[in-house]
């Protein structure tokens, strides 16, 4: 599928739950949010049916997200069903707290690799960001279990927040090199915290450069990160700059499906196509495919901002 800008749309972010065991300050209120009833969430058989249609439409990569996807009961069963659809890549993004318990089963079910969120190497900072008592050790154990299970390369995502974890950038790089993971620093999108915590990519890069000269390795076609290296330390890392990079949306190839079956063409477009309602109303596969193609046709050239979007419901 190609959109009006000629971009090939071949990547689906699939949210399987709106529940999360963290309350990250850049994502949701500390008091929590109203949760969907079980009946409102797509059933496994509905997800698998839609996945087959997305595969027919040309989707080659699926990323399973949440909330925290490992809170969805029997997730390896769903992974096995998605694996049978024949996607080129089947990946999962997690906060890592439950990953040690589930990594082996996910790999056996057909998952290819994982991304893990880790915003600090200090328990007290991580707790301040995550709104709870998440421990660095638990997440590190999850990462180790993922590596042992073959869910590699493991990517670690760090959202950089000015005045909270921005002083850890060199330490995070050295830790990632030793742990054998690929680290990506992500600009905070000021959806909840406003501008006070925002640190642009150029300042992230400046903080990394205390370890040595940084060299740009460019951006992969269709990718969101610019890869950098520090040759003197044999370190590579990524920076994802959705705010400061004016070309960030240039190669966007994503669609998003919420846990309730809402198909979104862009994070800045909270309106979408209710595939669940149509499916439960009796729509056949051809009609559902037509809605997917219409969503691609409506995909904007660039985001107009994500300030009012409930990220925990769309999978980010």
Among 19, 185, 21, 13, CA closest to 101: 21
Rg (CA), the chain: 19
Q: What was the pLDDT predicted at 310?
A: 52
Q: What was the pLDDT predicted at 222?
A: 78
What is the rounded distance in angstroms from the CA atom of residue 229 to the CA atom of residue 55?
Answer: 35
What is the rounded distance in angstroms from the CA atom of residue 316 to the CA atom of residue 310?
Answer: 9
Q: What is the mean pLDDT of each run of 10 residues along the chain (316 residues)?
A: 94 96 84 84 98 98 97 98 98 98 98 98 96 92 98 98 97 98 93 83 98 94 91 97 90 95 86 94 98 94 62 54
Are 219 and 245 in contact by the 8 Å Cβ rule? The answer is no
Q: Is the peptide bond before 67 cis (omega within 30 degrees of 0)?
A: yes
Tokens of 38: 């079980």
- Going through the chain in order, the beta strands assigned E by DSSP cover 11-15, 61-65, 89-94, 113-117, 155-160, 182-187, 215-219, 225-230, 235-240, 254-257, 262-264, 273-274
Q: What was the pLDDT predicted at 88?
A: 98
Q: What was the pLDDT predicted at 316?
A: 54
Q: What was the pLDDT predicted at 203?
A: 98
Q: What was the pLDDT predicted at 132?
A: 84
- The secondary structure element, H or E, covering residue 292 is helix 285-298
Q: What was the pLDDT predicted at 33?
A: 75
What is the rounded distance in angstroms from the CA atom of residue 82 to the CA atom of residue 104?
Answer: 17
Are 104 and 149 in contact by the 8 Å Cβ rule? The answer is yes
Are 92 and 64 in contact by the 8 Å Cβ rule? The answer is yes
Rounded alpha-carbon distances, angstroms, from residue 301 to 68, 71, 163, 266: 29, 34, 33, 10
What is the rounded distance in angstroms from the CA atom of residue 170 to the CA atom of residue 37?
Answer: 43
Q: What was the pLDDT predicted at 186?
A: 97
Q: Domains in the chain, please, with CATH?
A: 11-314 (3.20.20.70)
């Amino acid at each position: 599928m190609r959109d009006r800008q000629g971009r090939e749309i071949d990547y689906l972010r699939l949210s399987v739950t709106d529940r999360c065991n963290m309350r990250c300050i850049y994502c949701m209120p500390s008091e929590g949010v109203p949760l969907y009833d079980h009946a409102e969430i797509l059933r496994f058989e509905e997800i698998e049916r839609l996945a087959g249609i997305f595969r027919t439409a040309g989707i080659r990569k699926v990323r399973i997200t949440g909330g925290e996807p490992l809170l969805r009961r029997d997730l390896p069963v769903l992974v096995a069903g998605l694996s049978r659809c024949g996607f080129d890549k089947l990946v999962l993004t997690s906060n890592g707290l439950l990953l040690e318990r589930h990594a082996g089963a996910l790999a056996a079910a057909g998952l290819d690799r994982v991304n893990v969120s880790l915003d600090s190497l200090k328990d007290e900072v991580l707790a301040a960001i995550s709104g709870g008592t998440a421990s660095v050790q638990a997440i590190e154990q999850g990462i180790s279990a993922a590596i042992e299970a073959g869910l590699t390369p493991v990517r670690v995502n760090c959202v950089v927040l000015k005045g909270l974890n921005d002083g850890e950038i060199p330490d995070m790089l050295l830790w990632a090199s030793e742990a054998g993971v690929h680290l990506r620093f992500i600009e905070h999108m000021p959806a909840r915290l406003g501008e006070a915590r925002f640190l642009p990519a150029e300042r992230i890069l400046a903080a990394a450069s205390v370890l040595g000269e940084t060299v740009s390795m460019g951006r992969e076609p269709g990718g969101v990160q610019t890869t950098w290296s520090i040759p003197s330390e044999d370190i590579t890392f990524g920076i994802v700059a959705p705010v400061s990079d004016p070309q960030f949306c240039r190669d966007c190839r994503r669609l998003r499906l919420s846990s309730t079956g809402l198909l979104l063409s862009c994070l800045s477009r909270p309106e979408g196509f209710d595939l669940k309602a149509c499916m439960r109303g009796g729509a056949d596969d051809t009609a559902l495919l037509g809605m997917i193609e219409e969503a691609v046709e409506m995909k904007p050239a660039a985001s107009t901002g994500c300030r009012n979007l409930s990220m925990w419901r769309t999978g980010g």
